Amino acid sequence: MAARVDALYIFLLIVTGMMALLVFVLILFFAARFRHRPGIRAEQIEGSTALEITWSVIPFFVFMAIFAWGAVVYFKERTPPADATEVYVVAKQWMWKLEHAEGQREINELHVPVGRDVKLIMTSQDVIHSFYIPAFRIKQDVLPGRYTVEWFRATKPGVYHLFCAEYCGTQHSGMVGSIVVMEPAEYEAWMNGGSTGPLSASGEKVFAELGCATCHRSDMQGRGPDLKGVFGKPVQLEDGRTVTADENYVRESILDPGSRRVKGFQPIMPTFQGLVSEEQVNALVAYIKSISDAKARDGAKTSAGLAAPRAPVEKDGSRAVQAKAQVNGSQVQRP
């Protein structure tokens, strides 16, 4: 993305630079050419339609070209590839909490492999922040109460600055971090070092703990809609509208279930506002996603397993303990 943004920016600099140069050269030229000389009177000119049309039409097409070019870059930057690896970001005063789909948690640091599309699904626990990686030319506001998304594909190993780019209180300037881009093998080693269960597994745990499954059952006898296969699909609402069950819709349905209720169900679901943390909501979203799309689930695994496949997570107490630790706190688990 950086090369695209830079190309457009350099083009703008050249165009505006050339115009500025033209204006200054003409000022000097006219000042000399039409300077006051004794005995010579100025000739009055009454406008020129041809000249005016020329200097309106040419800039119009130049501006439209810039607009079209900018729009193409913008839509590329705003549209994450479908198979991108997902990382959940929770901003708070004054730190970044990041959680990989595979379960790794980090604070103020994000490790990614070279050459992989990474989609950041971001929300804030308090005020508005902004996730800004200058080297990647991406910046996106992070808002409380909803998800925003940005994505990148790092092309060179290294450590890149991460800034909060939205004034968010006294320590805003300290809300910084780094993006660590690693070679795939190195990344693999890092990934396996602090291995915990995948994020969707902690979501499954939260789903069970909160008793969601008592209503959201797969046998169509439940008081709530069956959530298998729902994610990413259109949903018919009680008020006749249709929405896509994306991250923001799932999130809203957890925190404010009455606002866009699924057709055919009673408004009996309580809100979970204040009962679940941002991390738990993220985990639930990842879980709902995982039971909807086998590809997404496998994708999370295969993207983690560029080289060796990972050992299956045991279905015993140790995972439950891990999952609990994951959803309860904001501790970092890294090698």
Looking at the Cβ atoms of 123 and 200, the one nearer to ligand CUA is 123
The correct pick among 110, 149, 154, 164 for binding ligand CUA (CB under 6 A) is 164
DSSP string, 34-98: T---TT-PPPP----HHHHHHHHHHHHHHHHHHHHHHHHHHHHHH---TT-EEEEEEEETTEEEE
Looking at the Cβ atoms of 144 and 305, the one nearer to ligand CUA is 144
Looking at the Cβ atoms of 120 and 168, the one nearer to ligand CUA is 168
The correct pick among 168, 179, 201, 212 for binding ligand CUA (CB under 6 A) is 168
- Contact flag: residue 172 with ligand CUA (CB under 6 A): yes
Segment interacting with ligand CUA, rule: CB under 6 A, options 36-44, 166-174, 229-237, 311-319: 166-174
Q: How does DSSP classify residue 145?
A: T
SS3 99: strand
Using CB under 6 A, count the residues that bind ligand CUA: 8
The correct pick among 100, 105, 129, 216 for binding ligand CUA (CB under 6 A) is 129
Contact 254, 276 (CB under 8 A): yes
Residue type, 119: K
Task: Tell me how far apart the alpha carbons of residues 206 and 212 are, in angstroms, rounded to a whole number.
Answer: 9
93 to 122: interface string for ligand CUA, x by CB under 6 A: -x----------------------------
Q: Report how far apart, in Å, the C-alpha atoms of 329 and of each of 146, 251, 269, 280, 326 are.
A: 21, 20, 26, 10, 6
Segment interacting with ligand CUA, rule: CB under 6 A, options 161-169, 191-199, 201-209, 258-266: 161-169
Looking at the Cβ atoms of 164 and 245, the one nearer to ligand CUA is 164
47 to 86: interface string for ligand CUA, x by CB under 6 A: ----------------------------------------
Q: How does DSSP classify residue 114?
A: T
Q: How many CA atoms lie within 13 A of 332 on its CB side?
A: 12
Question: Which residue ranges make up the site for ligand CUA (CB under 6 A)?
Answer: 94, 129, 164, 166-168, 172, 175
